[in-house]
Chains A and B, each alone.
Chain A
């Protein structure tokens, strides 16, 4: 919301502060000022002048030499200009030597303006410059009578043409003003109006608030003789006021009114439209004007629309209504969508003679939802949505009629038709000074608090310890609300700064978060950098990942109002995010990329979703570049190890995940639970993600890992005193025998003496028969209480070798 300071000052005449001071203090009492524009920024030494004489420039066809009188004493200066619209006798703004105009040579406003110095134009001296409206820092929207591409000539303007020569032009044009931009919070509906802000300004600066004196105007006729109002759906329309103006005399509004509207970003149109808009800004009460001669039966009916009813709004568009939209109708037909937009059939035209003025109060939620369904967003709607004060409507419509008389825009008919079904009464709220101090941590005495209440127009009864809350302050309901009134006028900055007292608390991370932190840190040690991807994605990712039509992963939590299909389902797999990020890196030529993400997947408990899904935190690791399957497997093992899952981790190749290479994938199994998987990404999936390198991923379900982790189980084992015996064996076997099978045999038959079994060589090649491979292990034995003898080791080794032979793995000769 934008409001010029002059408008505020009209109602707080004693207000005297700099723009910065106003901004700071209003902000600190809760009316946040986002910024301001000084309308006279960059304007200096600009006075009213009169062109006495014009001569041709001796050396330039497009220039003329003007003699301009710049004061009442008769001082005349010479100014050379190229402007086409000057003439002898013209009253013009003149910037003197050393003065400033607001814009640069290309017409753009620049902070501080541009300095104008005397000089010679084609050899003829010029002692200043005559200004256009742009050079005065404004535009023809604000000053419609100004020449769009020439000097601003005042002669045709009855307010400026008699200005004293030499007087200050910014002052004359009302440019000694500041336009403030506010951010109003949704609870302060009253502050979406000039009156509301002025009331806050008066309270903030401790000045008297003088709102406009509204007098009820009108002739001795009765509005009720002109129009009849029936409100059928009272729940959606607590109040409807109609007044009538006849003998409408459309004309431009006076300069001051046009300028105030323009400052708020509203284009002046004619007196009637301008008055409606002006009062909407001033009182935050939207009003609508109907041509009464188009209202059938001279009757207004407020009712819900019929489903499918088509209505043409005043912008010429046909719109389809439904039965939740409130309509303003006449005896036969709808004439407007309540609170949103009037109808084509009843709009004010240049030929209007009698006008029906509507000031109503509608249900904010209904207006908001109707507007959304209809895809409409008007200024009036924005005001109604917030839930207006019905008490304000009468004041506003009377103000509008008063302005109509003042501006001589028509003859106001006496009285009004007021259908007010549910009168809003002021609320009574109890206060308790001690309780307020206890909430704020302050020691403010009751009288001071009462003075703050009074400043905010909350009438206080000290006997009863209660305040009467005016109808416009819908936000004040409880003691806590009164505490805020006290706090903001006392000044948030004056409230002490303390630390909470009471029971000391230990705090910290939950166990789950600690395990997740260990896993994340380990991934980082292993060279994986942390990625962050969206929780929602496109249902098309399942096809990209080659996931089957019937796969359970396709059962997802679906967003009913997504930003688009690409963000429409909550992910059930973290792979797409990872592969998309790897793809981004790959396509930006980044080499050897390793990423991890610690984030949730969302598994629905049922379809359709009726309760919250299972949110499972996944550690997802992905990489391409100088690495292979075993690098990823080692990374997985390191993470699990750090999370205390050390032994009995099984890598099961029967995983059959469609997005992974069929021969290079494994489920990760711990205590019979699949806690994750890893593998080389299927080349077709890589193609789908435009990654042209082998890519590896691993996904660990942290919910399981946190559950299985047990750091308490870690206990010290004595460091052995007796030496170990190490035997190396090299085995030849069919390729399809897995190392895991060999290791299981070694572990099983190595028994208690076995300390460690480590693979140190894998060979497939010319030196072996085709279809064979060789694995070499270093096996270490140790006895806790004595030095092992060869004989004992030989016995165990023989058992192992025999069993391995049974499996088809023979000692390599």
Chain B
């Protein structure tokens, strides 16, 4: 009986090992463990065994069953694994085929540059405000210390609606509106469209965007102006950016300056991008002219401030190395989708 059982187990193991698919394995299971299977028939022949040996034989049959079942299970798992592997292999795809992108729109390069500038100044506690694009001549000029018939009015090639109303030539006009509210101190930037009668070409447009800045408080100094704008330049153009302030003239600031930043392409050694100068002119600035403060009834002995203004397009053109301003207003999707 024992030999017979061993033989059955041996045969079963050999068959299991030689089986090559799941259904063959199932047949083996039925053949040995099924109701009419080999082991069952052994059990059935137990009645011919001595009663004292039955437990021993019974144990042996159980062991044989367990061994076969284990073998079957192991073999089955191996088959399943192989089948899954084959399936997975068959499912291989070409990962270099293009991805299915949702069609996303793109921001205008001006807006990206503006977002950068706004983020930096908001971080320094500045409020972003707006003012009218069609503006009273008074706000655009006179209140900024540019009296009637001042040559600066001609220099800026103003578009007139009538004698009193113009298309603003500078976002500086927003300074006046903000000062008029008399909520001091002031820390603001004002982005927006401005207009000058320049013919369209690669570097000019009759409509473009500026960002004005104004800070007024009791102890604001020229040193603060320098520190603030140097910090802005670093955050905008990179940590290693150096700045240079040159004396300049604007009617509504005194002292006035223009700020250059070290060329972000060559770092200041001079290249074609900065026309060999190493510096790139980026903005105009200065201490708010006492007359401008006084016209708004702000005591220029008590309050001081600085103002600055920059061209948004200039920053966008420099940042993205765009060589023709006209591209910004054509709205060719192949241009816009690059940003």
Question: Measuring CB to CB, which residues of chain A are less than 8 angstroms from any residue of chain B?
Answer: 27-30, 32, 185-188, 364-365, 368-369, 372, 385-386, 438-442, 475, 478-481, 483-484, 487-488, 492-493, 495-510, 512-513, 520, 523-536, 557-563, 567, 570, 581, 584-585, 588, 590, 592-596, 599-600, 602, 608-613, 615
Contacts and interface: CB of A to CB of B under 8 A. Distances in A.
Contacts of A29: 247
Given A441-B222, A500-B217, A612 B136 contact: yes
A586 to B, nearest CB: 10
Given A186-B155, A502-B185, A609 B165 contact: yes
Contacts of A532: 108, 110, 328-329, 331
Q: By DSSP majority rule, is chain B's interface helix, strand, loop, or mixed?
A: mixed
A364 B153 CA distance: 14
A488 B286 CA distance: 13
A441 B136 CA distance: 35
Nearest to B229: A497
Query: What are the 9 tightest A-B residue pairs by CB atom distance, in nearest-first order?
Result: A441-B223, A441-B221, A30-B247, A484-B255, A185-B249, A581-B331, A524-B105, A527-B103, A505-B125
B152 to A, nearest CB: 7
Given A560-B161, A570-B134, A594-B105, A508 B287 contact: no
Given A440-B223, A502-B219, A188 B249 contact: yes
B149 A524 contact: no
Contacts of A495: 222-223, 226, 245
Contact of A615 (B134, B215, B221, B330): B134
A481 B102 CA distance: 59
B246 interface: yes
Nearest to B337: A529
Contacts of A188: 249
B135 to A, nearest CB: 7
Contact of B333 (A365, A385, A593): A593
Contacts of A442: 222-223
B227 to A, nearest CB: 4
Given A496-B223, A561-B160, A563-B199, A534 B206 contact: yes
A608 B257 CA distance: 41
A186 B132 CA distance: 28
A561 B165 CA distance: 12
Contact of A507 (B111, B124, B167, B255): B124
A561 B118 CA distance: 34
Interface in B323-339: 328-334, 336-337
B105 A525 contact: yes
Contacts of B329: 532-534
B133 A535 contact: yes
A207 B215 CA distance: 39
A365 B135 CA distance: 24
Interface of B: 102-108, 110-111, 118, 121-130, 132-136, 149, 151-152, 154-155, 159-162, 165, 167, 185, 187, 193, 195, 197, 199, 206-207, 215, 217-224, 226-228, 230-231, 244-249, 254-257, 287, 289-291, 304, 328-334, 336-337
B247 A612 contact: no
6 contacts: A32-B248, A439-B304, A484-B247, A499-B231, A524-B107, A585-B331
A441 B246 CA distance: 17
Nearest to A488: B247
Given A480-B290, A493-B244, A510-B129, A505 B185 contact: yes
A757 B248 CA distance: 67
Contacts of B245: 492-493, 495
Contacts of A502: 185, 217-220
Contact of A505 (B187, B199, B230, B248): B187
Contacts of A500: 187, 215, 217, 219-220, 224, 227-228
Given A29-B247, A493-B245, A498-B221, A503 B185 contact: yes
Nearest to B251: A187
A32 B257 CA distance: 11
A517 B219 CA distance: 34
A532 B217 CA distance: 36
A615 B222 contact: no
Contact of B132 (A364, A528, A596, A615): A615
A809 B206 CA distance: 58
Contact of B254 (A478, A559, A590): A478
Contact of A501 (B105, B219, B304, B328): B219
Nearest to A23: B277
Given A506-B125, A609-B162, A530 B207 contact: no
